[in-house]
Amino acid sequence: MTDTKKAADTKKTAAAKTKAPAKKAPAKKAAAPKKAAAKASEGQQVTINDKTYPLDALSDNAKAQINNLRATDRLIEELELELAVARTARSSYAEALQGELDTMNTTLQ
Protein backbone atom coordinates (compact mmCIF):
# COMPACT_ATOMS: atom_id res chain seq x y z
CA MET A 1 0.00 0.00 0.00
CA THR A 2 1.39 3.39 -0.93
CA ASP A 3 1.74 6.28 1.50
CA THR A 4 -0.93 8.23 -0.39
CA LYS A 5 -3.39 5.36 -0.15
CA LYS A 6 -2.61 4.88 3.56
CA ALA A 7 -3.26 8.59 4.14
CA ALA A 8 -6.54 8.35 2.23
CA ASP A 9 -7.60 5.28 4.25
CA THR A 10 -6.69 7.09 7.47
CA LYS A 11 -8.78 10.09 6.43
CA LYS A 12 -11.74 7.83 5.60
CA THR A 13 -11.46 6.12 8.98
CA ALA A 14 -11.26 9.46 10.78
CA ALA A 15 -14.22 10.77 8.78
CA ALA A 16 -16.24 7.67 9.60
CA LYS A 17 -15.52 8.19 13.29
CA THR A 18 -16.62 11.83 13.16
CA LYS A 19 -19.84 11.05 11.27
CA ALA A 20 -21.33 9.19 14.22
CA PRO A 21 -24.66 10.78 15.12
CA ALA A 22 -24.41 13.21 17.97
CA LYS A 23 -26.70 12.74 20.94
CA LYS A 24 -29.33 15.41 21.15
CA ALA A 25 -30.71 16.73 24.38
CA PRO A 26 -34.39 16.09 24.95
CA ALA A 27 -36.62 18.94 23.83
CA LYS A 28 -38.02 19.41 27.32
CA LYS A 29 -34.60 20.17 28.78
CA ALA A 30 -33.78 22.60 25.97
CA ALA A 31 -36.97 24.55 26.66
CA ALA A 32 -36.29 24.82 30.39
CA PRO A 33 -33.68 27.62 30.16
CA LYS A 34 -36.08 29.74 28.11
CA LYS A 35 -38.72 29.45 30.79
CA ALA A 36 -36.18 30.36 33.46
CA ALA A 37 -35.00 33.32 31.39
CA ALA A 38 -38.58 34.47 30.89
CA LYS A 39 -39.25 34.29 34.62
CA ALA A 40 -36.02 36.16 35.34
CA SER A 41 -37.03 39.03 33.03
CA GLU A 42 -40.43 39.45 34.67
CA GLY A 43 -40.38 42.53 36.84
CA GLN A 44 -37.06 43.75 35.45
CA GLN A 45 -36.84 47.30 34.25
CA VAL A 46 -34.45 49.26 32.11
CA THR A 47 -33.89 53.02 32.28
CA ILE A 48 -33.22 54.83 29.02
CA ASN A 49 -32.81 58.60 28.93
CA ASP A 50 -34.20 58.96 32.46
CA LYS A 51 -37.33 56.97 31.59
CA THR A 52 -37.95 53.49 33.04
CA TYR A 53 -39.48 50.73 30.92
CA PRO A 54 -40.56 47.24 31.96
CA LEU A 55 -38.23 44.87 30.11
CA ASP A 56 -41.00 42.44 29.19
CA ALA A 57 -42.99 45.28 27.56
CA LEU A 58 -40.23 46.07 25.06
CA SER A 59 -40.23 44.70 21.52
CA ASP A 60 -37.78 41.99 20.52
CA ASN A 61 -35.90 44.57 18.45
CA ALA A 62 -35.61 46.92 21.44
CA LYS A 63 -34.35 44.03 23.60
CA ALA A 64 -31.82 43.16 20.90
CA GLN A 65 -30.57 46.75 20.82
CA ILE A 66 -30.24 46.75 24.63
CA ASN A 67 -28.19 43.55 24.39
CA ASN A 68 -26.05 45.17 21.68
CA LEU A 69 -25.47 48.20 23.92
CA ARG A 70 -24.53 46.01 26.87
CA ALA A 71 -22.12 43.96 24.74
CA THR A 72 -20.56 47.12 23.36
CA ASP A 73 -20.18 48.57 26.86
CA ARG A 74 -18.41 45.37 27.98
CA LEU A 75 -16.10 45.58 24.96
CA ILE A 76 -15.29 49.23 25.74
CA GLU A 77 -14.47 48.30 29.35
CA GLU A 78 -12.16 45.50 28.16
CA LEU A 79 -10.44 47.80 25.69
CA GLU A 80 -9.99 50.49 28.36
CA LEU A 81 -8.32 47.91 30.60
CA GLU A 82 -6.02 46.87 27.76
CA LEU A 83 -5.22 50.52 27.09
CA ALA A 84 -4.35 51.03 30.76
CA VAL A 85 -1.98 48.05 30.59
CA ALA A 86 -0.38 49.42 27.41
CA ARG A 87 0.05 52.87 28.97
CA THR A 88 1.65 51.35 32.07
CA ALA A 89 4.02 49.32 29.90
CA ARG A 90 4.88 52.41 27.82
CA SER A 91 5.63 54.38 30.96
CA SER A 92 7.97 51.62 32.16
CA TYR A 93 9.73 51.51 28.80
CA ALA A 94 10.15 55.30 28.83
CA GLU A 95 11.62 55.16 32.34
CA ALA A 96 14.01 52.38 31.31
CA LEU A 97 15.07 54.36 28.25
CA GLN A 98 15.65 57.48 30.32
CA GLY A 99 17.75 55.48 32.76
CA GLU A 100 19.79 54.08 29.88
CA LEU A 101 20.29 57.55 28.39
CA ASP A 102 21.31 58.94 31.78
CA THR A 103 23.87 56.15 32.09
CA MET A 104 25.20 56.85 28.61
CA ASN A 105 25.48 60.58 29.33
CA THR A 106 27.57 60.01 32.46
CA THR A 107 29.91 57.63 30.63
CA LEU A 108 30.32 59.94 27.62
CA GLN A 109 31.38 62.92 29.68
List, for residues 23-78, the tens digit of each pLDDT value: 555 544 444 445 544 455 568 999 999 999 999 999 999 999 999 999 999 999 99
Q: Please indicate, yes or no, if residue 97 is contained in any of the structural domains.
A: yes
Q: Is the pLDDT of residue 10 over 60?
A: no
Phi-psi region of 43 (alpha: psi -120 to 50; beta: other; left: phi over 0): left
Q: Please indicate, yes or no, if residue 10 is contained in any of the structural domains.
A: no
List, for residues 81-94, the tens digit of each pLDDT value: 999 999 999 999 99
Q: Please indicate, yes or no, if residue 107 is contained in any of the structural domains.
A: yes
Q: Please indicate, yes or no, if residue 98 is contained in any of the structural domains.
A: yes
CA distance 91 to 18: 51
CA distance 14 to 12: 5
Q: Please indicate, yes or no, if residue 23 is contained in any of the structural domains.
A: no
Tell me how many domains the chain contains. 1
Q: Is the pLDDT of residue 100 over 50?
A: yes
Q: Please indicate, yes or no, if residue 81 is contained in any of the structural domains.
A: yes
CB 46 within 8 A of CB 58: yes
CB 53 within 8 A of CB 46: yes
* 3-state SS class at 26: coil
Q: Please indicate, yes or no, if residue 12 is contained in any of the structural domains.
A: no
Q: Please indicate, yes or no, if residue 13 is contained in any of the structural domains.
A: no
Specify the pLDDT at position 42. Answer: 67
Q: Which domain holds residue 72?
A: 41-109
